[in-house]
Structures are given as structure tokens and as C-alpha cells.
Amino acid sequence: MFKHNALTSLFFAVAMSMHVAHAADAAAVAPAAPASTPATAVAIAPPAAPSTAASAPAAPLASLDTRIQDVKGDVIRLNRDLLVLEEELLFPANTQVALFVSMDVGKMFSLDSVQIKLDDKPVTNYLYTPAEVSALHRGGVQRVFVGNLKSGEHTIVAFFTGGGPHERDYKRGTTIKFDKGVEPKYIELQIKDSMAKLQPEFDVKVWQ
Amino acid sequence: MNARRITSSLLRHLAVAVACACALATFGTDAAPLAATLAAPPADAPPSPVKDPHYGDALFHFYQPHYFTALTTLMASQQLGRVAQHADEAEVLRGGLLLSYGMHVEAGQLFTQLIDKGAPPSVRDRAWYFLAKIRYQRGLPAEALAALARIEGSLPAELDDDRHLLHANLLMGGGDYAAAAAVLGTVAKKQPESRAWFMSDRKSRDANEAKAAAGQYARFNLGVALIKTGDLTGGTAMLDELGRAPAAFEEARSLRDRANVALGFAALQANKPEQARTYLERVRLNGAQSNKALLGFGWAAASMKNARLALVPWTELAGRDASDAAVLEARIALPYAYAELGAQAQSLAGYNGAIGDFERENAGLDESIQSIRSGKLMNALLARNPGEGAGEEMGWFWTLRALPEMPHAGHLAQVLAKNEFQEAFKNFRDLRFMTGNLQQWADNLGVFSDMLDARRKAYTERLPQVLARARETGMAAAGERSAAITKEVAEAEQAGDGVALADAKQRDLIERLNGLRAAQAQPTPDPEVAAMSERMRRVAGALTWQLAQEFPAKVWEAKKALGSIDTQLAQAKAHEAALAQAQVDEPARFERFAKRIAELKPRLQALMPRVTALSGEQQQAAQGIAVAELASQKNRLAVYTTQARFAVAQLVDRAVTAPAQTAPQAQAHAQAHAQAQTQAHAQAQTQAQEADRARKP
């Protein structure tokens, strides 16, 4: 009798502990409950027949997961609209200029910071975190500055600092003159490796 | 020992073990992390060129990982039409990001649209793959299999492996283990080099480790699938190979331990305790599986009728943290072994000690449940587990890692390990993040409104000044003067004598000559006047020559100046027109912005209480999961306590029936026996009531 009890509880315990050990993986693929009625359906009742609506059984409330999905979607879309509003309000298309930084392979240069002057006025002095450098290496393009400029000719001077070949400190500058029209201007500062010269190159690409 | 019942229990255990093992196959098939890889190249792959800088900007946030920023900036860029060159990739990325927030419905619609609109094969295949994932997660295996069948072979190699794992999971879920084994066989045969995506879905994991881990998971799952199909030899060999394989990193070691534990308990089921001990002694003494292994190791010895041998692992296990079920089990298994060895006194002391431990543990669980219900758990978890990345945004890689600072926090380890709780907590955290996000936007929107008012005011104030300046410039008069000058130049050109274009000195000379000519015309007796006429003729001739010589150049210069005047006049007119247009456009523009702000404000205000309410609801749900888990721990404790009390009663019975017992001893034993039975009965009765109570939030 006792042995039976002990062993039963043993397997119970082992089963439980095994289950716990794997639960995170198991539940990750556990079939989710099918989506129930959307939340919006709950509030809708025919206005012409309030008594009928009142007497009818209430529509089942959508599952918590469904309602959370809905609200997340609404929040994300609201964020999108607010971002668009913010940009159009602060940086109208006809005066907007955006500066981007990208990195090609980047083996010849370990980026630490970038300083940018626009028409001799410092507009950004950016220090990079390892995560940001990694994001640039993987193909990300950083919008490092966005601002407004009048139509006409302007000059950008950018300085990149970091570690160059043979782990030596490296600082390079690049200059570009461009005409700003009535369209937004996107300028990309590119850091590339020159295998021929065995040193980094800094290039500028004007998108539009 | 009731062998039949034990076998039944073992079978039940094996079923759980195998089910858990099947679950392991899902290690690499979690859709959300995979979305990251689908949307982006692996870390060691060269980046593909970005054709729209704003798409690159979204990737920049995505890789950090700041997913919320990545998603919202990407969607903003899509709305502004700035990622046209990456339209399909952007949609795939967006779908993956939506999936990461558990938004299966919207992600599913997005991928379906991608397929319907006839995206390129590579995009279409990825979309089918995602749809299969979503359908699998939503419990639609047949539809998931159908989606997998639509993949035409344009998936990247590393994703193809994941497709096989998903396929195998679906087949195993449907009971087709033979087919699953066949599918997994193709993956298991591959060397892990082709599975770099495993690395990228675990941020902190080294790529090589991930590659190796992926292969081992596949082999583990294949072993389990083979056992399920009845191929015990093949399955055991596969698991045994894994159980003996060298493991260079923690995940591989953990998997090896799991394989050995599964093998050990399978051997126990097959009544092969010696073999079970061989498998179980491979398990590390301090790993996550060590408690289970020690417990099984002891029971293997007990099955070999060698209770003394069982004492070693159980003594070690009984001294460990009591939050693990195996440890609790060991605390009654140990006195059982003593009883088997005839050490009644030690056994009785062991059982009584275990009962005391269980009661303390039970009180601790009650405190933890109380603490959870008061909301301390969720807040403490949030404080101890900030999101990854500087922005502490919602993220795929985020998991609960640190226990909260609470009394009896050890109880919560098993709660936190439950995926159901993790998912609920992620939702709760997402909603809390969104609450902050919306509050920030509410502040910003107020600033936008103020900014717009300031611009309106500035415009209203400056406009009259600008208009006044424009009036002062006298555009009409300037135009008339320009026309008059144009006419003069035309007349001068027509005259062709250059007189009209003469400079000041030349005009002075002309006037003097004219004066002299007039004087000469008067009758005068002065002979000198007559003598001057010849000199005048020569001077006039020279002047005429000079004017004629300079005439073409002066005409050209005059026309050039006229052209410049016309250009400036045109510019001034354009400015004037622009000013007039701005008087119409700017107020309209201000109105449009004001309207947009007015539209966004109620949306924002409506969302804030919704998010707060859902956050509270989700908190209650997560707390309910945690309480239910702790309640099950309480139930387990109740079972153990009941068994310990019965064991105490049995020991007392033996002592009572002993021949040398005196009357007072017998009476005391009888009382103890009765008390133990009463307590055990009461415990059993309350067990069901507590379970019901605990499930209520």
C-alpha cells in the first residue's frame, strides 16, 4: 500500500517536473482557441428594436486575446498616424532634409561617432552603441538627422571617428554640396571598405 | 509492490515525457523569432543593398531590437510612400512584427493579401510559410499542412529546415509518427551549418552553438518520434547517441540531460533498473534535470531491492530547495527507504520532519498566493525584468529571467516557466508599454496643438507686414518703367545713331557742340568764330564715329539689362503670386492639421481607457494562472502530506502490534494512529475545496 502510494506520487512528481521543464516549449505551440466574435460586435444593437435587443441574450464577449489583439492593432495604427502627422507638421516635404548613415562591410572601420555640420552649423554629434553598430553592419540605415532647409545650395561636412586598420584611431571627413529644391532631400553617408587601399572609404549618396 | 499499478504509472509518465519531448521539437519553430530571420539576413550574411533609405531605417530599429519603433516607423514610411522599392519585403517585415505581438489575425490577413496579389515566388513562399505557422499556432493543423504544401521551393535553405521541423510537428500532432520520423530524418542528417537562423532567434546565443543545438533538437525529436512509432530500438539508439554526445555549451548539455532522463525513465518502465541507472547517472548533478534524475536514480535502486543504494541520491535530493516537486517527493521517499531497511525510528522521524516541511511549504504557498492576488507579483516582475534594448520596447527575445523579490519567490520558478503565464505576462507588459506610449502621445499632441496655434498667430501677425512690404515695392510702377525703358531702347536701336545710348561725357559733348553750332549760326563779325567751325566739324565727326563704334555693344548691354529686369520682375511677380496663394493655402493647411489633430485626439482618448482596462484584465488573468499553478503545488503537497501521515500511521501500527509493547505504549500509538488518519482524511477533504478556490481569480 505504502509503496504504491509513494510510487504513484513519484510518477506524479516526475510527470509534473517534466511537464514544467518543457512547458515553455510545449505551450508555445499549443493550439490557441479559435477567435471568437470581434469585440466590436458586442456593442452593436439594432436601434429600432431596443426591447428585443434587451431581452435577447447578450453577445458573447470576445476573448481577452482577441480584444488585446484589436487594441494593439489600434494603438499601432494610431502611432503610425501620429508619426505621419508629426513629420508633416515639423518637417514639411518642401523643406525637409534627412541625413542617413549606412555601413557596408565595415571591417576596415569600427564606427564610434559621427559629427555632422550643415552649412557650418553642427546638427548632430552621435555616439554609437554596439547594438547600433551591429544594426548598421546588418544592413540598417540610420536616419541620423532630419530638419528643414530653404531652397538653394547647401553644404554638409561629416566627420566619422572610430578605429581604423591596425586598431588605430581614425577620423575622416567628407563634404558634399547639394541643391535643395521643393522636394524632400535624402542624403546617405556611406561607410565602405576599400580593399584596394586597405582602408575605409566615406561616400555620399543623394537619393533625391 | 503492486507491479501492475506501477507499470500504469510508468506508462503515464512515459506519455508525459514523450509529449514533452514532442514539444521540444517546437524549439526552432516559434513563429515570431523566425519572422525576424525571414525578414532579414542572418547576422553573418552580407546585408542586401537597401533601395529606399527609409526601409533601411526601419531595419536599423528592427535589428537593435526596437520592434515597436521599427513597426511604427515602417508603417509611417509605407503611408508616406517612401518604401516603394521594398514593398513586398516591407510587408513581410510588418507581418513578422505583428506576429511578434501576438496579432495573428492581422498578420494572417496581411500574408494572405501578399499571396493574393501575386507576389514573387520567394515572397509568396515565405508568406505561405508564415500562414502555416499562424494556422499551426491557432490550432488548424490541416490548414497548416495545406499551406506548407503550397511552398514551391523558393525558401532559403536555412528556412527550409524549419519548414521540415514544422511539418514534423504537424505530423506528430496528427499521430503520423512514421512520416514525422521520415521528415525529421532529412533534417537530422544535415549538419547544423545550414541552420544559422537558430542563432538569430536567440539574441545572446552564439551562431555555432545554435547550429549545433538545432541538429541536436532534431535528433532528439526524431528519437522520440521513432519510439512513438514502436521503433524502440531505433529511438533509444538515437537518444542514447545524444545522451552520450559531448556537449560544448549549456543548451546542448541540457538537452543531453533531458535525453538521459527520458531514457532512464523509459528503462524504468521496461523494468530495467540497472539500465535506468546507467542512463540517469550521466545526468549532471547540478543541471535543471538533476532533481528528476536523482529521484529516478533512487527509484531504480529501490526497484533493485537495494534501499541502501537509494539512500544516496534521495538524501542528496531531500536537502535541496523544496520548491521542486522532486525534492518534496524525496522527503517522503527517504523515510520510505529507511523503513525498508528496518530503521523504523529514523523513518518515523523522517516522515514527521517531512510533514513539518510540507506544512511550512504550504503556509509559504498561501503567502505567495496572497501576494499574487494583491498584485505584487506582476509589478515585481516588471521591475525585475525590463525589456531588452534601450527603449525597453516589446520584443521577441524578451523572456522572464529574474524572479521577483518576494517572500517564497522559489515557488514562482515553476509559475514563470509556464508558457501560458509568460504569454499572459508579455501581453500585460505590452499593454503597460502602450499605456506609456499613449500618454506620451497625449502630451505630444497637446504640444502639436500649441505649435499650430503659435504658427497661426505668427502667420496672422506677419501677413499684414509682408503685404505692406509687397505693396511698397510698387510692382505696377516698376512694370511701367520697365516698359518705358524697353521702348526707349527700341527707339534707340531703330535710330541707330547711338545718341540715345551715349554716356554722360558724350552727352555733355553733344550739348556743347549743339551750343557752339547755335552760336555759330548767329551773324557775328568775329573772325575766330568762323575759324572754329572747322574744329567743330572735326570734333562732331569724331563723336559720331565714337558713338557708331560703341553702338552695337551698348545696344547689347541695354538689352541684357532689360532681360535681367524682366527676370527680376517675373520673380517678384511669382513671389507676389505665391504670397497670394499662401494667403489661401496656409489657412487651409492649418485647418487640415487642426482637423487631423482633432480626429486623432478622440482616438487617443478612447484608446487609453481601453488599454488600461485590458491591462487590468490581463493582469487578473496572469495572476489567475500563477495562483492556479501554486494551488496545484498545494494539492501536491496535500497528497504528500496525506501519504506521510498514512506512513506514520503504518509505522505506529507496526509498533503497536510489536509483541513487547506495554499497555500505555499501545494506547499512545493508537491515539497517534487515529490522529494521523483523521488529519489525513481532513487534508484530503480540503484538497478539492482549495483547488476550486484557487482557480477563482
Q: Which of B19-28, B68-77, B342-351, B530-539 has the lowest mean pLDDT?
A: B19-28
- Tell me which chain A residue has its CA closest to the CA of residue B332: A6
Helices (H), A29-63: 40-43, 50-55
Across-strand partners of A189? A101, A204
Per cent of chain B over pLDDT 90 is 27
A196 contacts chain B (CB < 8 A):
no
For B319, which DSSP code? Answer: T
Q: Is residue A123 a part of any domain in this protein?
A: yes
CB neighbour burial string for B55-78, b if at least 16 within 10 angstroms, e if fewer: bbbbbbbbbbbbbbbbbbbbbbbb
pLDDT of A140 higher than 80: yes
Q: Cα–Cα distance between A129 and A132 in angstroms, integer? A: 5
Provide the residue range defining the domain that includes A140. Answer: 96-207
The ipTM of this complex is 0.76
| pLDDT tens-digit readout, B347-394 | 999 999 999 999 988 998 898 898 889 888 888 888 776 654 434 565
> Left (φ > 0), alpha (ψ -120 to 50) or beta: where does A32 sit?
beta
Q: Which of B223-232, B300-309, B640-649, B666-675 has the lowest mean pLDDT?
A: B666-675
SS percent in chain A: helix, strand, coil, step 5: 35, 35, 30
- Tell me which chain A residue has its CA closest to the CA of residue B3: A4
Q: Is residue A193 a part of any domain in this protein?
A: yes
Q: Cα–Cα distance between B199 and B210 in angstroms, integer? A: 5
pLDDT of A188 higher than 70: yes
Rounded to a whole number of angstroms, the distance between the first and last alpha carbons of chain A is: 85
User: What is the CA angle A28-A29-A34, rounded to 5?
Assistant: 110
Interchain pair B597, A137: CB under 8 A: no
For A177, which DSSP code? Answer: E
Comparison of pLDDT for B441 and B657, the residue scoring more: B441
Interchain pair A188, B299: CB under 8 A: no
Q: How far lies B485's CA from each of B476, B490, B494, B502, in Å?
A: 14, 8, 14, 15
Interchain pair B13, A19: CB under 8 A: no
pLDDT of A3 higher than 60: no
Please tell me which of the candidates A3, A23, A139 has its beta carbon nearest to residue B56.
Answer: A139
Residue B250 CB contacts under 8 Å (≥ 6 apart), including other chains: none
CA-wise closest residue to B87 among B108, B66, B61, B118? B118
Interchain pair A26, B431: CB under 8 A: no
What's the order of all strands across the beta sheet hosting A169-180?
A121-127, A110-118, A152-163, A169-180
Q: Is residue A201 a part of any domain in this protein?
A: yes
A-B CB pairs within 8 A amount to: 299
Which residues of chain A make contact with B80, given a CB cutoff of 8 A? 84, 87
**Mean pLDDT, chain B, whole residue set:** 79
Residue B49 CB contacts under 8 Å (≥ 6 apart), including other chains: none
Reported confidence tier of residue B238, pLDDT bands at 50, 70, 90: confident
Interchain pair B332, A16: CB under 8 A: no
For B1, which DSSP code? Answer: -
Which residues of chain B make contact with A3, given a CB cutoff of 8 A? 1-2, 336
Please tell me which of the candidates B295, B336, B632 has its beta carbon nearest to residue A2.
Answer: B336
Prediction pTM value: 0.71
Predicted local distance difference test score (pLDDT) of residue A104: 81
Residues within 8 A of B (CB atoms), A 12-51 only: 12-35
Q: How far lies B665's CA from each of A115, B345, B604, B649, B658, in Å?
A: 91, 15, 78, 14, 11
The pLDDT of B255-284, averaged and rounded, is 91
Q: Please say whether the beta carbons of B71 and A76 come within 8 A.
A: yes
Please tell me which of the candidates B64, B417, B650 has its beta carbon nearest to residue A135.
Answer: B64
Q: Is residue A75 a part of any domain in this protein?
A: no
pLDDT of B181 higher than 80: no
> Which of A3, A22, A96 to mutate to test binding with chain B, by most B CBs within 10 Å of its CB?
A22
Interchain pair B326, A21: CB under 8 A: no
Predicted local distance difference test score (pLDDT) of residue A202: 83
What is the nearest CA distance from B53 to chain A, expressed in angstroms?
6
Q: Is residue A133 a part of any domain in this protein?
A: yes
| pLDDT tens-digit readout, B649-691 | 988 888 777 655 555 555 555 565 555 555 555 554 554 455 4
Residue B661 CB contacts under 8 Å (≥ 6 apart), including other chains: B655, B669
Q: Which of A149-158, B18-27, B576-585, B587-596 has the lowest mean pLDDT?
A: B18-27
Predicted local distance difference test score (pLDDT) of residue B350: 92
Q: Cα–Cα distance between B85 and B78 in angstroms, integer? A: 11
User: What is the CA angle B611-A69-B608, rounded to 5?
Assistant: 15
Q: Cα–Cα distance between B131 and B34 in angstroms, integer? A: 13
Predicted local distance difference test score (pLDDT) of residue B394: 58
pLDDT of B427 higher than 70: yes
Predicted local distance difference test score (pLDDT) of residue A36: 30
Interchain pair B451, A89: CB under 8 A: yes
What is the nearest CA distance from B476 to chain A, expressed in angstroms?
27
Predicted local distance difference test score (pLDDT) of residue B294: 94
Which residues of chain A make contact with B60, given a CB cutoff of 8 A? 132, 135-136, 140-143
Taking residue B207's Cβ as centre, other Cβ atoms within 10 Å add up to: 17
CA-wise closest residue to B259 among B231, B230, B229, B227? B227
By CB atoms closer than 10 A (0-12, 13-18, 19+), residue B479 is middle
Which residues of chain A make contact with B139, given a CB cutoff of 8 A? 31-34
Taking residue A17's Cβ as centre, other Cβ atoms within 10 Å add up to: 23
- Tell me which chain A residue has its CA closest to the CA of residue B71: A76
Residue type present at position B417 = A
For A161, which DSSP code? Answer: E
- 3-class SS at A118? strand
Q: Is residue A55 a part of any domain in this protein?
A: no
Residue whose C-alpha cell is 524502440: B232
Q: Is residue A164 a part of any domain in this protein?
A: yes
Q: Which of A28-32, A193-197, B322-326 has the lowest mean pLDDT?
A: A28-32
Residue type present at position A162 = G
Q: Which of A168-177, B158-167, B256-265, B551-560 has the lowest mean pLDDT?
A: B158-167
The string of DSSP letters for B463-487 reads HHHHHHHHHHT-HHHHHHHHHHHHH
Predicted local distance difference test score (pLDDT) of residue A24: 30
- Count of the separate structural domains present in chain A: 1
Q: Is residue A9 a part of any domain in this protein?
A: no
Which residues of chain A make contact with B325, given a CB cutoff of 8 A? 12-13, 16-17, 20
Residues within 8 A of B (CB atoms), A 136-165 only: 136-143
Q: Which of A79-83, B457-461, B599-603, B662-666 has the lowest mean pLDDT?
A: B662-666
> Which of B72, B171, B279 to mutate to test binding with chain A, by most A CBs within 10 Å of its CB?
B72
Q: Please say whether the beta carbons of B43 and B207 come within 8 A.
A: yes
What is the nearest CA distance from B296 to chain A, expressed in angstroms?
8
Q: Cα–Cα distance between A48 and A40 in angstroms, integer? A: 19
Residue A74 phi, psi (nearest 5)? -65, -40
Across-strand partners of A188? A100, A205
Q: Cα–Cα distance between A187 and A168 in angstroms, integer? A: 28
Residue type present at position B418 = K
Q: Cα–Cα distance between B532 and B527 in angstroms, integer? A: 9
- 3-class SS at B270? coil
Q: What's the CATH number where A123 sits?
A: 2.60.40
